[in-house]
Every structure is written in structure tokens, then in C-alpha cells.
Structure 1
Amino acid sequence: MVLPEGFVLPPWYLLGPILVVLGGVLALLWALEPPVKDRTVVAFVPWMMFGSTLHVLHRLEAYPESIAVLFSSPGVYLVTAIVAGAAWIVGIFLHAGGLQPTAERFVGTTGTGFFVVFTIFAIQLSWGIGTFDPFWPVIAVVVSGIVTAVVWLGLGLWVTDVAATTGMTGVVVVFGHTLDGVSTAIGYDVLGATEEVPVSRLILEAGHSLPTAEYVGGGWLFVLVKLALAAVILGLFKEYVEEAPRQARTILALVAAVGLGPGVHNVLLFLVG
């Protein structure tokens, strides 16, 4: 089995319109050709987190049954992409009309607002059933921040050109995959959570088969793999960022989302029980 557990495509009468709308959003963005810089990637970080919140609310059964499948995997990615893409388009036109200093400011502000509001809603739902617990989420975020700082310092010292070229986009990639790794390790080793992605589960099981598992658990191997993956990708993308920064940073933003989305999802699940 390759696909993660819970992977369910929406029915055709929901999937069809979503794909049409998403295609329209992407086509308009293609025509507008907005620049993609470090600040653009950073502006989309709240939207990556927002998608995680939508999926957590699905886990909490907060949606009507008729549309709930849209917020499972992979429907939630499509919905998030549509809303975030629409926000980018609006930001571009507002900037062109002189109503916003940059399109990125509008994207980042609206994304933060959506994320905060929906996260508060999820917390309220969990509070009502007595499952709110902030301890492990705080630990996961703090540890991820420290590990990211150490890794980025190492990249800056040993492969300075990679760190300098990828910039804040690289930081987002490293932090996203670090958070995914650390939160998954905590969930698997400490909280007894199960891993839904088959490949990740294999790595975790391999870590638990090592002699060190008795003392430090097996999640450290997964964290190490995620960090190595992020570092290798940044190294491979260095020349691409120099030659085609718009396309390269767009792909790196997607790479960051693949890590940050699941990582925030884990943290929110810890938070709401």
C-alpha cells in the first residue's frame, strides 16, 4: 500500500467542479505571472497551516456529512489551493490598484486570519469535550525551532552558497520537514499514535528495531531522514533557484508544504486530543 490511510477521493459531482475552479485559478495566475520571491513563500506559510486546520476539523467531525469528504485527503489540498490562490489573485489586483503595498502582505494577512479563526474553532470544539492539551504541541514547536536553527547554522557554515541562494525559502523547507519529523516522533514514541503514511511507518519501525530504541525510541531516525531530505533538496535546487527563481521557489514552496502541512496537522491533533 502506497497511499496513506484515509485517502478518499470526493465523488465526481464534487470533484469535477473543484477541479474546474482550481484550473481557472491556476490559469489566471499563469496569465498574471506574479513574481515568486522569498517573501512570497513566507506569505503562504499561514495557508499551508490553514489547510492542516481544515483537515483537523474533519477529524473532529465538524463538517456536514454532505461535504465532509472535501476536507479529507486529498480534497482538503484542492480546497486550500483554491482559496489561497484566490487570495493571491486578489492581492495582485489590490497591489496593482495601489490599495496594498505588496500582494504578499494581503496573502499573508488573510492566510493568518483564516488560520487563527479556524484554529480557535477547533480548540473550542476540543475544549467542550475536555481534550485540550497544549504541552506536547509546545514541546514539538520549540524543539523544531531549535533543530531548524542548528541545521540552518550548519548549512550556512558548510554549504554557504546553498543557504545564501535559497534564503528564507530554504528556512521554511527545513522548518516544515523538521516539524513533521519531530511531531511524528513525539506522536509515535510518546503518545502512542499510529502513522498513516506507509513509507513513514516503515522508517519509524526501522528506528524501533535498532538497539537505541530502548533508550531514545525510534522516532529520531525519522527526524534524521526528514532533515537529510530537506538538505539534499535544497542542495539540488541551488542552481535552479539561480537560473529560474520563480519556478524553483514555487516548487520549493510545495516541498515545504509537504512537510509543514503534516507537521502542523500533528501539532493541532496533539492540541485538541
Structure 2
Amino acid sequence: MSIEDRATGLTPARAWLAAFAAALAALVGGSLVLRNLVYDRFVWQYFWGPVYADAHNAACAVKQGGETRLLGSDACASVAADAVVARPGYTVVSEIGYAVTLIFMLAGVLFLLRGLELGEDRTFFFALVPFMFFGGALRVVEDANNVAAATEGVEQAITYPLNALIISPVIYFVVFAITLATLVVAVFLDRRGVVDSYAPLVFGAGTVYLLATVGYIYALVTSGLASRTDAGFYPQVTVAVVLLSLLIAVAVFGALRRYEPGVVAGVGLIGFVVLFGHALDGVANVLAADWWQVLGLPFQYYPKHPVNSFIIDVTDRVLPPNVSDTIGDAWPFLLVKILAATAVIWLFDEEIFEESPRYAILLLVAILAVGLGPGTRDMLRATFAI
């Protein structure tokens, strides 16, 4: 702690806590004082409203005259102009909000890891990889739950308010809490000499969570959804997505090591995993959107994120129809993902790892999560035709 910190009592961790408390107070205070502006037209419309509508499998949720209604798609198109409408899914505003929250929370996690004296070695990164898959798989449980709610004769396995726990953004905090609890227990056992290292225990626990979640999805589909909907089991999707993602990651990482070794000198094998994670996100989107018939899927998938939709829309407008019909219009998203991942790993040179290894590894965990999590969700949705 610096002399100035000792004099003021304001360490970086305390400053973060103060900022968190101030932001929370402003949000709560604004929601109470300026309810219509702050809560209704910001918090509810872009963050909680979409969760509420999604949890009830509604096309939209509408706040008007002090009442909240859940509507179908036709009714959503004809609501009054002064009504506040929230639709399931992401918007530009919500994605910016999530990005800002992620950056802020990363700083808090950094202070937490410092307190636990964790995160400086690369095994920490690899130990958390299964949790990225687990987060995406857990989100598919809600997708399957929504299909059940919309299917006559099939009951939801998880009803409101419990299903809100596995809808964005609430699911991010749920997965974080599970990950943190697992990590703390593993570190406790490590430091008590019960296990030789916390990393294998964390990796194994994440793998168990993932397999249990995928098994639960399979049980949901085979126990009722498959007989009444198009849901089923299409393992060729997962095989194709994983193999193509691995091939792309191997090719790009190998080319970088041979022709531009400085790009991957700092990150090492972490760079390969980051490339794989973002390739999986891109490949899952491309196959589900443009090659669904080749894979034998019963229907086409459309992107749930504004960025994906924007790229596809631009490509569709730019390319001649005959070209789009032949090669599809989702492939530029895969290209963007690979280029972005390559740029990111290039930024993490050896100097960053020497000066701030914990911060570098934590950022790379977050970067992998925003690729591998959504990619896993898209891959498993297509695998089970949900």
C-alpha cells in the first residue's frame, strides 16, 4: 500500500467497493425518484423485462398504466406508443450495459484473486475452461424449457421464478457463483493438503457440471419434447462444429507460430484455446444458419445477438443472391471472430504476462468466455433441435 493510500485509507479494492456502492445507490435511487425514466425505460425495458418475458415464453412484456402484460407476437406489434415494451433477447443497449458491467466486475474479481493469491499461473486459465462450456449448456436448459412451455401436452420442468436464474444476464451471476464456490473449496482443500493441486479438482468439477447439464437436456428432449416437437438428438452437429473449430484453430495457430511467432509468443497454448473458443462460436452460427439442411436439422437457426444479425444482414445486401444461395451469408461472422481473436492474442505479449500475469490471465478467461459460452449454446441448441 502506498503512503497516499495509507493516508486516505482508499486502496484500489476499497475504491472499487465505493464505486459499486455509488452505482447501486444511483440506480436504486433513480428507480425510486424517476421511476418511469430510470426503472421503466432503462432497467426494466432493457434488462429485467426481457428476462421476465423470456421466463414466461412470451413474445414481449408490456408495462402500461401501472400494469405489466405478457403478449404474443401479433399483440406486441400493436401496443400503444406510450407503452414500454421489452422483448426476449439482446439489444444494443443491453449488450453495451453487459459489456460495461463485465469490465467493472472483472476489476472486482481481480481484487478477489489477489486476496486469495490466485490467478498468476496459467493452470488457472485451463482449469476454468469447462465452466465456459457449462455456462452455454446451462442456457440451453432454459431454451428447452421454453419449447416445453410452448408445446401442448408438455409441462415446463422449471417454472418462474426459478427459470429466471438461467436467463441472461442473471445466468452470468449464477455461473460465476458456482465457479467461485468451486474454486474456493478446491483452494481450501489444496492449502489443507487434502489434494495436491486445486486446478485438476476445479477442471474435473466443471466437467461434471457440464456433463450433468447436457445429460439433463438429453433427458428433457427424449422424455417428451421429441414426440411432440422437432426436438431430437443430432450428434453430427456437435461433431462437425468441434472438428471444424479445431481444424481452424490448429491452422491459424500453426500459421502464426511459423510465420509470425511474435503474435503468440506471450500467450502460448492459451492463444490456441482462445482461437478455438471463438472459432466454435463462428462455426456454430454458420452451420446452423446456412448448412442446417446438410446436417439434417429440421429447421434453420437465426442469430440471437445484434452483432451476428448485423453482419448477416450486411452480407445479404452486399452479395449477389446467387452467391448467398451457394455459400450462405453467415460466414463473415466466422471470419470476424477469427480476426478478432487473433488481434486479441497479439496484444497479450510476454511483457504483459511479466508485469501483470494475474490481470492478463483474467482478461483472457473473460475473452474466452464471450466466445465459447455463446458458441456452446448455439451448438447444443442445434444438436438437440431446440
Report the TM-score, using the length of structure 2 for normalisation.
0.63
Match of 1:48 in 2: 132
Tell me, which stretches of 5 or more residues in structure 1 are unaligned?
Answer: 11-21
1:214 CA displacement: 3.0
1:246 correspondence with 2:358: yes
Match of 1:199 in 2: 307
Query: Does the CA contact (< 8 Å) of 2:113 and 2:119 recur in 1?
Result: no
The 2-side partners of 1:250 and 1:102 are apart by 19
Structure in which a larger fraction of residues adopt helix = 1
Match of 1:73 in 2: 168
Match of 2:198 in 1: 103
The 1-side partners of 2:186 and 2:118 are apart by 10
**Alignment-mate amino acid for residue 8 of structure 1:** V
- 1:8-30 CA distances to partner (integer Å, 9 max, x unpaired)? 379xxxxxxxxxxx99x956544
Higher relative contact order (CA 8 A, sep 6+): 1
The 2-side partners of 1:29 and 1:249 are apart by 11
**Alignment-mate amino acid for residue 127 of structure 2:** A
Query: Does the CA contact (< 8 Å) of 1:136 and 1:271 recur in 2?
Result: yes
Percent identity of the aligned residues? 31
Change (3 A) 1:135 1:158: same
Of residues 369, 374, 378, the one that matches 1:257 is 369
What's the secondary structure of 1:60's corresponding residue? helix
- 1:111-154 CA distances to partner (integer Å, 9 max, x unpaired)? 10111111111111112232111122211111111111101111
What's the secondary structure of 1:90's corresponding residue? helix
The 1-side partners of 2:330 and 2:285 are apart by 7
Q: Which aligned runs of 4 or more in structure 1 are off by greater than 6 angstroms?
A: none
The 2-side partners of 1:108 and 1:36 are apart by 17
The 1-side partners of 2:124 and 2:256 are apart by 22
Match of 2:325 in 1: 214
**Alignment-mate amino acid for residue 258 of structure 2:** L
Of residues 327, 341, 347, the one that matches 1:230 is 341
Aligned residues: 260
Change (3 A) 1:28 1:214: closer
Deviates more, 1:61-70 or 1:147-156: 61-70
**Alignment-mate amino acid for residue 51 of structure 2:** V
The 2-side partners of 1:35 and 1:69 are apart by 31
Tell me, which stretches of 5 or more residues in structure 2 are unaligned?
Answer: 1-45, 54-104, 146-156, 227-231, 293-299
**Alignment-mate amino acid for residue 233 of structure 1:** V
Deviates more, 1:175-184 or 1:47-56: 47-56
1:223 CA displacement: 0.6
**Alignment-mate amino acid for residue 263 of structure 1:** G
- Point out the structure with max Rg over C-alpha: 2
Alignment of 1:124-143 (within 5 A): 124-128=219-223, 129-130=225-226, 131-143=232-244
Deviates more, 1:256-265 or 1:33-42: 33-42
